[in-house]
Structure 1
């Protein structure tokens, strides 16, 4: 029965209770996202009024505006939207599974594993500029996503095994993840030290999380992954809600814990790996946006749709800042890190106060 706080949504034989507040937050966030996308498409060496950008997106505008907006700028903005949504969803899944606001892919080392795999391909393949277009299109579209996925999956499996103690120990999960992340960061640095100077320089720029010069070949794998893993995530919602009550209670409700954990692992790893392969590591996006969406929606767990929208808003906003606000070029990953690092410190201080209270 529908309530003031949730309304049923049915699709064939499946149904979900959709929280009204979360739906409203998602709709408002989508409006903010569209506004930021319009600004992102309007700024540049050839500025276009925002109104003309909107008309161009809906089929209007003159030929020059259509070329600039649709051909030159839209691919990069679309990559920012899809990457932000992927990282927001990955963070919501991992934080819900671990029942810990610190359990995001970048804190758990999954992002570092994906980065290690991608940098290994860049260095070994001898490409001298992933972002500069000197790496083959096949490597951009196929090789890097596969390498990033393998690196992220290997890290996640190792994290799972090392955190197992007659079940998945969530506190141990975070601690082991931090250690794995530090180890993989050191391994990536070793690759850079022993690489050719051209490869090391281009890989280091990529590691900063850059949206510059991104095209459809970078965004296509992210979009395909979202199309596959968003439905899987929606199917996992009921089991994740039951797991919030504890493992024993979830088993009593018929939840297959191992199968659910494996599904969340696959979804989070897939989403993180393709995002990292597309633009490099965008630090703290997966950490910050699920918690922001959680507080805006007043939910018991990070909401999936609102987290995706918030992730897209943050990444597109970072792109706008680097292109229109700052007087110098700066990778978007530095902007997201500047937002996320103080938030991480706040979370740690808040957790420490609760323990000592």
Structure 2
């Protein structure tokens, strides 16, 4: 067996081992996450039961005090009451005392269960966070071992840059998956859980407080459902605007930039200079992502007050011009955020186009993108 074959065999076994370990870590995380959600539901129920028991115990305590007072009165004036009245007073006092003891014991057991659940939730949360971190690290290792970084050889000149670029792409993919997972869990999933809980409470409110309170709770539920639906639509739109397939690039950009301006409070001026026409699906998605990446980078890093976006589609080329009046940056300075620019350049290169970026500190940044319209 040659050295090359031995090396390939070692790498293959390593990839299999890393892949299996990654799957096991993922299963541990999923199991912990499912248990966490189940315990969250149980904690809500236990807290409700504790509140109900406290109310019942308080009412029983009042009855027990009255029964004891009655028993004291009967004991002091024994000759004034019949044997039946004395027996009844004693039995009632004893019965309420027993009921109160039972309720206090149930309350203590529920409080202990509540404390146990809360401690378990803290442990599970730590386990979930650790498994996510380990899973991301293992995925980076797995993809780096299994991937072929030679495709970046023409772009990245030396081995160190090649390694950094490949790892950054993999890390960005994993971070995006994690962000999306957390966004769904903390947004729509959490809202749906609250809606489910609130819907179970409606009937109780109706029985205890009447139709008006129940209707008010239902109206609050409707608001939560609308908010959840809007959040789901926002997440889907960020992944891939459906309007891109239906309306095309220019209308979708117009809609996106309008929404972007409303959310960021940045003034955005959008102009379509050329004719409005449909392009290939791949090209429309790529151009949309380039504009999206540009305006998001400006918003995140440059703190601009105004962004200008112009697009011109001719018979042979699509040209995009993005300009902001933000803080700008030094093009020769290599910093953490520069990976976004590298990704944009790579995307333009894949389209056989050109991209020019000019920036001045405290003046702003201008991005010029030109891509040929290649027809099959």
TM-score range, shorter chain: under 0.3
TM-score norm. by structure 1 comes to: 0.26
TM-score norm. by structure 2 comes to: 0.25
Task: Point out the structure with max Rg over C-alpha.
Answer: 2
Instruction: Between the two structures, name the one with larger relative contact order (CA 8 Å, sep ≥ 6).
Output: 1
